[in-house]
Amino acid sequence: MSGQHAGVQAFIQCAYKNAQYVHCCVHQPDLIVGQATSQNQQVRVFFSNLSDITNFFNKSPQRIAILDETVRKRIPHGSATRWNFKSRTSNTVYEYGEQLIECMRKIESTSKQAVAINQARSYSLYVRRIEICVLAYSVSQYYATCQCVIQPASENTN
């Protein structure tokens, strides 16, 4: 378990010998979703590409400016361990797919870097694919449903 020997968990247990470590209510669903999605190649590629799209914008202030101008919404950073961040990224791609495609077209036509032009074209074609739209929609709906279950549970613990 992470932090068991040198993290916060170890620090607290050193100070309070009888302290018990308890995962947050979202930990178990995160593990289940992580295992489930790692079994399907198409889903793994989907989340990998979402991460690449996020990184594509975050590596360039010029691209972020075009994203802000065209989409008027930033694409959230994903996280390897927190599925709610991946769901927010997927939801953004689902909700703003057409604007993202337009943003990619602007980058293609204005960029001076061959790599950026090629990546923008590739991501534009990727977001256009119907199965990607279906996956993005499915992931956003799944997490909307999970939030209905998880949110009341986490509110009861506060």
pLDDT for 32 equals 76
pLDDT for 42 equals 84
156, with CB counted inside 10 A (0-12, 13-18, 19+), is: exposed
pLDDT for 155 equals 54
* Separation CA 31–CA 16 (nearest Å): 28
pLDDT for 122 equals 94
What pLDDT, in 10s, does the model give residues 78-112? 666 666 667 788 888 888 989 999 999 999 999 99
What pLDDT, in 10s, does the model give residues 142-153? 777 776 665 555
pLDDT for 86 equals 75
Structure tokens given for 135: 């996956």
Angle CA 60–62–68, to nearest 5 = 105
| DSSP letters for 35-84 | HHHHT-HHHHHHHHHHHHHHHHHHT-HHHHHHHHHHTSSPPPPP-SS-HH
pLDDT for 83 equals 64
pLDDT for 113 equals 94
Q: What does the pLDDT profile of the chain (158 residues) look like in tens digits?
A: 555 567 888 888 888 888 887 777 667 777 777 787 778 888 888 888 888 999 999 999 999 999 999 999 888 876 666 666 677 888 888 889 899 999 999 999 999 999 999 999 999 998 888 778 788 888 777 777 776 665 555 555 55
What pTM did the predictor assign? Answer: 0.69
